[in-house]
A and B are shown apart, each in its own frame.
Chain A
Amino acid sequence: MERLGVELHHISKSFEKDGSPVQVLDNLDVRNEAGEFVSFLGPSGCGKTTTLKIIGGLLEPDGGEVIIGNKRVTGPGPDRSIVFQDYALLPWVDVLRNVAFGLELRGVPKGEREEIARTYIQKVKLSGFEHHYPNELSGGMQQRVGLARALAVNPQILLMDEPFASVDEQTRRLFQSDLSDLWQEEQKTVIFITHSMEEAVYLSDRIFVMSARPGRIVEEFVVHLPRPRTAQDIRGSKEFTESVEHLWGVLRELQ
Chain B
Amino acid sequence: MRSRAAKRQKVFQISLRLFSLLVFALIWEVAGRAEISFGLRPLSGTLKALVDLIGSGDLAYAFLISFRTLITGFSAAAIFGVSLGLIMGTFRRFEHFCNVYLMLLLSMPTAALIPLILLTMGFGFVAESLIVFLFAVPIIAINTHTGVLNIEASLIQMSRCFLASRSQLFLKVILPGSVPMMMAGLRLGLSRAFIGMITAELILSPLGLGRLISISTSKFQYERLFAVTLSILIVAALILDGMQRVERRLLRWRH
Contacts and interface: CB of A to CB of B under 8 A. Distances in A.
**Interface centre among B155, B159, B253, by most A CB within 10 Å?**
B253
Interface string B154-184: 1101111111110010001100110100000
A133 B254 CA distance: 8
B2 to A, nearest CB: 15
Nearest 5 interchain pairs by C-beta = A88-B158, A102-B162, A88-B154, A133-B253, A82-B161
A102 B158 CA distance: 9
A67 to B, nearest CB: 19
Given A106-B163, A135-B254, A58 B157 contact: yes
A37 B176 CA distance: 36
Given A84-B154, A86-B154, A104-B172, A91 B254 contact: yes
Interface string A145-171: 000010001000000000000000000
B152 interface: yes
Contact of B253 (A53, A76, A135, A149): A135
A95 to B, nearest CB: 12
24 contacts: A53-B157, A57-B161, A76-B160, A76-B161, A76-B162, A78-B163, A80-B161, A81-B162, A84-B154, A84-B157, A84-B158, A86-B152, A86-B154, A88-B152, A90-B172, A90-B176, A91-B254, A92-B177, A92-B253, A102-B163, A105-B159, A105-B172, A106-B162, A153-B162
Given A57-B161, A58-B161, A92-B176, 13 more contacts: A58-B160, A76-B160, A76-B161, A81-B162, A82-B161, A84-B157, A88-B152, A90-B155, A90-B172, A91-B254, A104-B172, A133-B252, A134-B253
A239 to B, nearest CB: 36
Interface in A102-135: 102, 104-106, 133-135
A88 B157 contact: yes
Interface of A is mostly: loop
**Interface centre among B161, B168, B172, B254, by most A CB within 10 Å?**
B161
B144 to A, nearest CB: 16
Interface of B: 152, 154-155, 157-165, 168, 172-173, 176-177, 179, 252-254
